[in-house]
Structure 1
């Protein structure tokens, strides 16, 4: 059976990881991977794969929708890595042919599971919400890349869909997990009068509430800190605003990353971080959070978030983001026990045999 993979163009690390897993462990001739993006944005490692088809964004929304719809019609099985790449016209066409849902497996990303609702009350927005909800409700096979996603999906859409848990296998191929890095603890850095490196978020997305975090950290601006803000993909307008405020509040202590980085370079950057802050309630940034847990970094996430609840259920030490609002600098940088975070990653993300089994169930079911 040939499997069609439809990929959102924003996360090529996930694309490369799943492509490598298939090439190394499954029949290469039995899949096609379709990416919607301008060719110059796509890494060469992906472009040179004979199983990859690129649909250029300049093709136009309507034509792209028709191409994807026909791909779905004429393939036996379709794995949608996020459904954000489908416009509402295409979703509606599929809804009008409900038998097509028998072919579709939705691999949910945080944005299209937790952020699909619009708040506008215009008739267009109301129609969009109906189409979006109906499409998700009709899904009969669902893959969660983070364990709580499955329960959230079932509750939100009162779904009886068959569900699978299969995290992207990026950790298996990530160099950071096979690299001997010097993990300086915060106390050592204080004694050496080295700056404490703080990371806010991992991309330019308003859902990470960068500006709120900057305001909450403002009271520490005279301390020996550096604040790093990766803003090299996502909403450029939001990134510009964040950069402006960061520079106003912290001056040269704020370092905004706007250029794309090679994976090795980015992982080296993560290894230099002491404290990371993800001020969001939904699942996001696992490609950053998992390596940070493995490297035993101190992580702040809001207490009412799905990630905070899950990690605490696994006995992993995550600190409530809201503590920052009232705590002193010495409390903010105080070390915590991070052993369980590293153990969790080793057991759940670095076992390739287990990863193959999980994805085999997705591919073959």
Structure 2
């Protein structure tokens, strides 16, 4: 049996659907914590949801401890839950069969986390867990290198796209009806997007025919309010904060209307947005000293540096080249093949590539 341990997030319900559709669901069990109402999924026999009651958490953790020992493999979808980390710290013999799906924030807290006593306590438990984790799962090799550098991680690296949000998305784009340059800033309300810094860089263009769109429905809402206040003050009616959740199909249409996206993260983040935009032939700006910059460079996919002085779209031949490379590398077929390799024979009907 393969046990998936996850805190509910927007990536998890589509992943469960993918597993139940393409693999033997009887070989996969899901242990989920978090808000099911916010991130709904179709209930099935292979899902255990931790109840959000006083007794729900200890009962859920006891159930998890039993399932961890029963499982042949354990897929850890992110390493954010402190109770799970402490449990693995106390049961190090389980780590050799654990596969850490690296989300980014669960790794970069080492570098970017506030170095207070809480951080030190969490790192005390995290360090030996990460060091002795049997397997590291990501598609960005630079993050594995950082895990080895920061934590002495010894686990085997498995390349895997992991979630459907990271796949190429086919979308028929209508010809632009206007010459307005649509610019997206960031992918959430998380302060790590460094929105204010980007808005300052855009100030010289405020009198030009531009629109600035900033997704802010997800993350730190106090930070979102600050971004909205400054954005409206500096750009007036050219500034468009997106504060409500947008269904995936509508969000894809929104991305289809974007010309330039500026992701000013100092760490690997927003990869689903980045992959989708590049696959749609859009121009993306990233920080050069990040693992995703090196990742796209290794695939010969052209992105622009946030540090460069101009804001302009890539030439058509470069965006077309980007689209072809994204389509080839980030396919559903590739994802299913990678998951089959991780799950292994007898543990979920390995996916067979069509002849």
Q: Give the TM bin, normalised by the shorter chain.
A: 0.7 to 0.9
* 1:266 alignment counterpart: 251
Structure 1 residue corresponding to 2:73, chosen from 55, 72, 77: 77
Aligned to 1:339: 320
More helix by share: 1
Number of residue pairs matched by the alignment: 341
Per-residue deviation, residues 167-201 of structure 1 (Å, max 9, x unmatched): 02416977x41x322254xxxx7xx5x32110011
- Alignment pair present for 1:112 and 2:93: no
Structure 1 unaligned regions, length at least 5: none
Aligned position for 1:288: 273
CA displacement, residues 210-232 of structure 1 (integer Å, 9 cap, x when unaligned): 11111111121111111111111
Q: Paired residue for 1:167? A: 161
| 2: CA distance, partners of 1:129 / 1:108 | 16
User: Structure 2: how far apart are the matches of 1:95 and 1:203?
Assistant: 32
Structure 2 residue runs without a partner (length 5+): 346-355
Q: How do 1:118-267 and structure 2 match up within 5 A?
A: 118-122=113-117, 124-170=118-164, 176-177=169-170, 179-182=171-174, 184=176, 192=178, 194-267=179-252
Following the alignment from structure 2 to structure 1, what is the Cα–Cα distance between the partners of residues 180 and 268? 30
- Provide the secondary structure at the position in 2 that maps to 1:50: coil
| 1:270-297 deviation digits (Å, cap 9, x = unpaired) | 0000000000132111111111011110
Q: Is the 8 A contact 1:6 1:35 kept in 2?
A: yes
Q: Larger relative CO (CA 8 A, sep 6+): 1 or 2?
A: 2
> Are 2:42 and 1:40 equivalent residues in the alignment?
no
Cα distance in structure 1, aligned partners of 2:32 and 2:97 = 19
Shift of 1:61: 9.2
Q: C-alpha displacement at 1:166, in angstroms?
A: 0.6
Kindly report the root-mean-square deviation, in angstroms, between the aligned alpha carbons of the 2 structures: 2.4
* Contact 2:260–2:313, Cα closer than 8 Å, also in 1: no
TM-score normalised by the chain length of structure 2: 0.88
* C-alpha distance in structure 1 between counterparts of 2:336 and 2:62, whole Å: 33
Distance 1:172 1:216, change over 3 A: closer
TM-score (norm 1): 0.85
SS of the equivalent of 1:113 reads: helix
Please report how far the alpha carbon of residue 351 of structure 1 lies from its aligned counterpart in structure 2 after TM superposition. 4.9
Matched, 1:29 2:49: no
